[in-house]
Amino acid sequence: MARRLRIGIDTGGTFTDVVALDVGEDGDGGGAELLTTKTPSTPADPAEGFAAGLAKALGLLGASPADVAALAHGTTVATNRLLEDRTGDLGFVTTEGFEAMLEIARQSVPDGYGNSYFWVKPPRIVPAHRVRAVGGRLDHTGAELRPFDEESAVAAARALRDAGVRAIGVCFLHSYANPAHELAMREVLRREHPDAVVSLSCEVLREYREYERAVTTLVDAAVKPAMNGYLARIAGRADAPLLVMKSNGGVLSAEEVARQPITTVLSGPAAGALGAAFVAARGGRWSVVTLDGGGTSTDVAVVLDGEPTLTTEGAIGRHPVRIPMIDIVTVGAGGGSVAWRSPDGALKVGPRSAGADPGPLCYGRGGTEVTVTDAHAVLGRIPPHLLGGEVPLDVPAARAGLSALAADLGLTVERAAAGILEISAWNQANAIRRITVQRGLDVRDYPLVAFGGSGPLLACRLLDVLGLPAAVVPENPGNLSAFGLLTVDVKNEHVRTRVVRDTELDVPALAEVFADLEDEAGAALAREGFPQDRRRLARSADLRYYGQAFEVRVAAPAGAPDEAFRAEVVRRFHDAHEARYGYCHRDDPRHPVEWVNLRVSGIGPIPRPRPPERPPGDGDPSRARTGTRPVRFDDWTETAVYRREKLAPGDVVAGPAVIEEFGSTLPLHPGFTARLDAHGDLVVTR
């Protein structure tokens, strides 16, 4: 029987993770076994790591590229270019009189005024000499006040061409209401500067707020050459559709992503949050905190009622990016985070990372700085090899490096290693507080789903620090982001700004805008190959109280928009505002509601994997015990070591213990227990 493989490949800072599922003739993967594996990432050219991961998975399965039915990919190409500030030689075309838009920017002082006596705005994404203005003007309704000035448009295109600018962002005033002038500018650029890569704000982000729309458009233009080149290099690796993970929790074909590569920022972390949501829901946990611990950083998110929370107030590095994205907080607390002594003598951990190359001292690849992984190795909390023996660890090298740092701090090696792990745990705990407490959520109500290669390592300590009820460690936690890619639907967002007070809302006009957005969403799904009966459209709206600067997004009901529809959306806004901020102004005419943005999400459902439940064992975990080794928790203890794949549902392991598997390790501290459930997840409780 011919194979039909669905493969998820997630590129991380240290490893490229691969999950393969044979979906069989019915295409849903019911009862199929998952293959999981890893290969080292190749930061110089991530396409090489992608190809190596795909080849390794096919080799382990004895399959060929022709057996691949679909590839889903989470990539960091766009994210890394922004984090490293490699935006290249960008050009910016805007409305005459608004050339200083990027200079004015927004007033946003880091760390508050108390710690910032003098603050200089960060460098512009486009220097002033590469900004060109074009005549013509629209008002906020899209009505034309002055016609598009083709003469100045031609002059702008030629000036950027002669300056060697190859990536151009176009953002005209009020083009969210009427894209005609931006579309005309694109035609001029095609004619006068055909080699340029062009991004239009009316296609990237059709919302008001000129500065954020301009920067988002410029970021899209900046990453487009690199992203499109990368997609071209990996597209031919298998004769199968290539789907790319987006920040909003959906996937999209590589061809569509090439048009808007900005949508892929936070691609990998988004896949991890969705995989964690899938695993948690399978065990009846619909609201959880997710923690994705990698080699470079840790990403945390919140899942409410089965869905990760979304935001449009994100930023990548110093650039505000107002695209819909899963609300993720990232902290430099991964396995490769470097431990160092600050000028005032304090021990610090991160945010700088040793990365994949050279990596931690114990990797034996020329690393010179102590990392979190080195501390785990010295304390015996991870085995003397990773990935089933593929990556042997040089523990004496880690101890020698820690000895030098410990001597500088006036500590023993063990105290220094324990201090590194404690600081890393608090860094992660503070990230979790930001995503919960600062969002109005009581962190003690939410179990933790810990995954990623380093995610489970500090799970027990996080339960103590935060008072969490439990931690869930999925099977193959190091590959959960890649698995999450197989649980995601095709999804695209369509938005239109329409600022109007609720008391003045024209309901027929509202219905017309939603109809236009639904037509756009349907056309996009048709391009993705989804017939009419397999498309799902979800409406939402951004509302606020008049005078507020930011909005709250709420789901809008199905059915024809009418007066009841309007009232229901407003009711949901009051409820959501109260839940988030602790108050609302329901039935208070002094604080009228204002509609801002209308949205439609076009969703093309993809069958999700259905891994079978595992039969219960005899309740004796000793079958999984492989021996003991000295491990330091509070003190050095001869500690039992277990192989996770030999545990059966119902088995309970009591700490102190270490539970090892191919891609990750769970150090179980004294006073904690871990129970394997029917789905193969370890549930850790105090």
242: helix, strand or coil: strand
pLDDT value of residue 117: 45
Q: How confident is the model at residue 676 (pLDDT cuts 50, 70, 90)?
A: very high
Tally the C-alpha atoms within 13 A of residue 661's C-alpha that lie toward its C-beta. Answer: 26
* 74/11 same-domain check: yes
Task: Give me the residues paired with residue 244 across strands.
Answer: 73, 252
* 136/213 same-domain check: yes
Find all residues with CB under 8 Å of 402, minimum gap 6, and list them: 370, 374, 375, 378, 413, 416, 417
Assigned domain for 518 exists? yes
Assigned domain for 453 exists? no
Cα–Cα distance, 515 to 535 (Å, whole number): 15
% of the chain exceeding 70 in pLDDT: 94
Assigned domain for 659 exists? yes
> What is the end-to-end Cα distance of the chain in Å, rounded?
48
* 111/211 same-domain check: yes
Cα–Cα distance, 624 to 631 (Å, whole number): 18
Cα–Cα distance, 288 to 471 (Å, whole number): 10
No. of helices (H) and no. of strands (E), the chain: 16, 37
Cα–Cα distance, 633 to 656 (Å, whole number): 8
Q: Is 80 exceeded by the pLDDT of residue 349? A: yes
Phi, psi dihedrals of residue 245, rounded to the nearest 5°: -70, 135
User: Helix/strand/coil (H, E, C) string of 318-357?
Assistant: CEEECCCEECEEEECCCCCEEEEECCCCCEEEEEEECCCC
The C-alpha angle with vertex 564 and arms to 560 and 566, in degrees rounded to 5, equals 85
Q: Which of 574, 604, 634 is the last residue of a domain?
A: 604
* 78/102 same-domain check: no
Question: Which of 420, 382, 375, 418 is CA-nearest to residue 399?
Answer: 375
Q: Is 80 exceeded by the pLDDT of residue 1? A: no
Task: State how beta strands 391-392 and 251-253 pair.
Answer: unpaired
Phi, psi dihedrals of residue 636, rounded to the nearest 5°: -70, 130
User: Which H/E stretch holds residue 496?
Assistant: strand 490-501
The C-alpha angle with vertex 394 and arms to 390 and 398, in degrees rounded to 5, equals 135
- Which residue's entry shows tokens 């993809």? 606
Per the structure block, which two tokens stand in for 592? 């009228």
Distance of CA 408 to the CA centre of its chain: 38
Across 602-631, average pLDDT: 88
Cα–Cα distance, 199 to 117 (Å, whole number): 37
Cα–Cα distance, 62 to 52 (Å, whole number): 15
* 212/179 same-domain check: yes
Q: How confident is the model at residue 45 (pLDDT cuts 50, 70, 90)?
A: confident
Q: How confident is the model at residue 185 (pLDDT cuts 50, 70, 90)?
A: very high
Highest mean pLDDT among 74-83, 379-388, 609-618: 379-388
The answer to whether residues 616 and 676 touch, using CB atoms and an 8 Å cutoff, is no
* 142/209 same-domain check: yes
How many domains does the structure of the chain reveal?
4
* 48/168 same-domain check: no
Cα–Cα distance, 258 to 57 (Å, whole number): 26
Assigned domain for 44 exists? yes
pLDDT value of residue 122: 62
For 368, 675, 682, the CA distances from 685, given in Å and listed in that order, are: 37, 9, 10
Tally the C-alpha atoms within 13 A of residue 130's C-alpha that lie toward its C-beta. Answer: 21
Number of neighbours of residue 26 by Cβ within 10 angstroms: 9
What CATH number does residue 242 fall under?
A: 3.30.420.40
Q: Is 50 exceeded by the pLDDT of residue 466? A: yes
pLDDT value of residue 267: 82
Cα dihedral: 574, 576, 580, 584 (round 10): 10
Assigned domain for 248 exists? yes
The answer to whether residues 233 and 251 touch, using CB atoms and an 8 Å cutoff, is no
Outline where DSSP puts E strands in 550-592.
552-555
* 142/213 same-domain check: yes
Distance of CA 275 to the CA centre of its chain: 12
- Which residue's entry shows tokens 């880091």? 110
Assigned domain for 556 exists? yes
* 216/99 same-domain check: yes
Per the structure block, which two tokens stand in for 245? 């993970």
Q: Which of 264, 287, 320 is the last residue of a domain?
A: 264
Question: Which of 303, 300, 309 is CA-nearest to residue 332?
Answer: 300
Cα–Cα distance, 636 to 41 (Å, whole number): 35
Q: What's the pLDDT tens digit per position in 510-524? A: 999 999 999 999 999
Cα–Cα distance, 677 to 671 (Å, whole number): 20
Tally the C-alpha atoms within 13 A of residue 182's C-alpha that lie toward its C-beta. Answer: 27
Q: What's the pLDDT tens digit per position in 47-86? A: 888 999 999 999 998 888 888 888 999 888 887 777 666 7
Residues comprising the chain, all counted: 686
The answer to whether residues 280 and 303 touch, using CB atoms and an 8 Å cutoff, is yes
Find all residues with CB under 8 Å of 54, minimum gap 6, and list them: 7, 9, 18, 65, 71, 237, 238
Q: What's the pLDDT tens digit per position in 103-162? A: 887 765 554 444 444 455 667 789 889 999 999 999 988 999 999 999 999 999 999 999
Q: Which of 570, 604, 638 is the last residue of a domain?
A: 604
Assigned domain for 445 exists? no
Q: What is the DSSP letter of 587?
A: T
Q: How confident is the model at residue 2 (pLDDT cuts 50, 70, 90)?
A: low
Q: What is the mean pLDDT of the chain?
A: 88
Cα–Cα distance, 301 to 288 (Å, whole number): 9
* 161/203 same-domain check: yes
Assigned domain for 362 exists? no
pLDDT value of residue 125: 87
Highest mean pLDDT among 30-44, 462-476, 477-491: 462-476
By residue range, what is the domain housing residue 523?
Answer: 495-604
Q: What is the DSSP letter of 285?
A: -
Across 31-57, average pLDDT: 84
* 92/206 same-domain check: yes
Cα dihedral: 279, 285, 290, 291 (round 10): -80
Cα dihedral: 12, 76, 73, 260 (round 10): 170
Cα–Cα distance, 11 to 53 (Å, whole number): 9
* 74/137 same-domain check: no
Q: Where would I find the H helices in 2-76?
A: 46-61
The answer to whether residues 246 and 266 touch, using CB atoms and an 8 Å cutoff, is no
- Which residue's entry shows tokens 């059966």? 648
